Structure 1
Amino acid sequence: MHAAHAATELVLARAEMPLNGPWAFRFGNDARWALPAFDDRDWERVDLTPAPGAHDGDVGLPGYVPGWTSRGHSGQWGHAWYRLRIRWTMPEGSAPVLIGPTLVDSAYEVYWSGRKIGGIGTFSETPPRVFGIRPQLIPLGETASAGEGVLAIHVYLPRESVNDTEAGGIHVAPILAEPTAAAARYQVQWWQTFWGYVVDLLEPLALLALALFALALRRFARKEPFLLLAAGAVSAIAASRLNQPLFYWTEAESLQAIIVARYVVLNPLAIVLWLLAGYRLAGVRERRLDIATGLLGMAAGLAALPGFEFPLIQTGARAILLLLFCLSCVGIVRYGRLRLLALPTTLIMGVALFPGELSALGLPGIWFPFGVGVSRTQYALALEIPLLAWFMYQHASTIAAATSAGQLGAPPRRGS
């Protein structure tokens, strides 16, 4: 084996330097690729220099570059390695620190001159267990103010993530920094990660409070199923949204676990429960329709199960559920009580329940006010929570008044 060529020489003085490369890059997995003496001269070269002002499409992390699927490797998933030889010089008494890449698809481990020093993900399992990427401050173990070493980063992209047109590998380059600058940058990265997902903590808490409010209103309308079904739907949405901060702030959930929780169980459950609630608002009480809706939800969820995905079944089932949602809206307009309030409440809920379908129509899915990503679903839920609370109160009051007057009955249907 021959020593890899030096690729980057840095002079640090209370400063930081993104390691944009060009990096040596290769698909596959071989433990020898972490060794500083390995010859990587025949590897592909990858430049991680971002375009001016570039940021990711989720929370707005700066320094973003598209992944390997947009660099001539469409459909490629699995293991890959990046290597970069670094020479550094910095003031006496200081030593470099590595700030880990803030966005990688999807797990990674870092080696410095052949020694593993950090990373996120469990590579001892097959396939590796993937967790959310968070800011990492990684000591190199160096004590000298000048030196040379090889940085090798082993990444893994799971098959279920390869359909993203910009997926694969390192999206934000790691940074070599003087310790003071590294600590400051690390704090900034964590604040940006926190603000990027804090709404996904606050809105679920508000949704759970809304569910409790719905259950409390049932004392005035005990035989009215809408409140119970709506409480179940918003609780499922809350549990689904809570997975976001758990995944990106902690290692409480792996990628596989969040896919099962959100896309197999909670999201289809929320759609089914809200549709059943919508049928009641439209005056429809048809057991066969309820069963068919439940079966469609199960089909949509099971078709998203990792390792057993059936995209056509998932897409088809969700399309039928969306059609049923639209028909329920028509029913609410024609036959429902409080229709001027019920219809916007239902339509805004639909924005939260069918994000993928709306994106497929070309509607923007995220905006970046103040440099932080806020999704269309987050905006929709911010409107839905107070609107649904008011509607549920008015609905329960109407039912209670009708019950007291002895006039309660299903809304009139055509031909009745």
Structure 2
Amino acid sequence: MSNLVAPLFEPLQLGSLRLNNRIVMAPMTRNFSPGGVPGEDVAGYYSRRALGETGLIITEGVGVDHPSALGEAGIGESDLPHLYGEAALAGWRRVVEQVHAVGGRIFPQLWHQGVMRLQGTGPNPHIPSSRPSGIWGPPAGLTSSPADYVAAQLVPTTAMSEEDIADVIAGYARSAAHAKALGFDGIAIHGAHGYLIDTFLWCVTNARTDAWGGDRKARSRFAVEVVKAIRTAVGPELPILFRFSQWKQQDFKARLAATPEELQDVLLPIAEAGVDVFDASVRYFNRAEFADIKGSDGELNLAGWAKKVTGCMSMTVGGVGLENGMYDSNKQGGAHSSNNFQLLMARYERGEFDLVGVGRSLLQDPNWASKARQGQVFEPFSNESLSVLT
């Protein structure tokens, strides 16, 4: 084993769940589930990563049991999986069984696209998209979304009603209960990147003046209620992981928090609702989040700050083993492998995070974790891996 990364291959206890190591497959949309149903190819795809020694699999985003959860979101998504209905649940049961058969652990990432869903698309095109305040995002935000999609989305719509909000929360709970019944080992919640939960957290898209809006703590209420409902549905044992981000697809320069105190206002209520791990989504793990902070804390990345202000475990992600971030590699056709483990492990040894999320590298090579343990050379990442299930 490579001495440098050996600490990442120590077991970790998440409540009642024991992970063999700290390497996590980060969630990545794949579009290989026709009609929302994952097939044998999807089961094989995930089980191969588990066989390759990935300690925890977090699935691609999986639509919750709500009619506006899924649709097109600027990049022509189709064949997105969901977690309700007899056929889809049978497909996910097959996924879980095959991952467990090779000793793996797996969480579904529960997902509601919210404002990012293009009106009139998805399994229920007649159902309006769910928007906290009827706002998609800022008209001049830095985004990679196509101009025609942005123009259509900028048209204001009706804000969610109290009944709408209750229905979505109930949908999360139903899908979480399904996940537990299918044997998933925990629950991951997508609360980032400008999707529904994130737009309640973000002041630009949450202009509500009722109990679901206001200051940062007040804007966290929707996320809090989703976590509480999921915790009730799955009980006290299953770990819950919550993904959050500063940046949004509507505006890459967006920020939920400009200071650690503001970040605490956002995250601490969510932690207290029942979250075990915060998944801090950034494009580059080796960047200080609040660079103007003096002392050693000024070096902390977003995962480090999430852990510090909540007391929960955290997961870092963003270019581990690669030379550039996701959006850069998309433009360039791929990314060369990078031995940035020294930078990663320096942060790990300081206690900034407990888990390491790996995305594109695991798309390219299901044995990436095994190669990291053995100190083998990694394959470069090619965009071609985005269109196949290897």
Q: Structures share a fold, TM > 0.5?
A: no
| TM-score, structure 1 as length reference | 0.22
Q: Determine which structure has more spread, i.e. the larger CA radius of gyration.
A: 1
If each structure's helix is expressed as a fraction of its own residues, which one has the higher value? 1
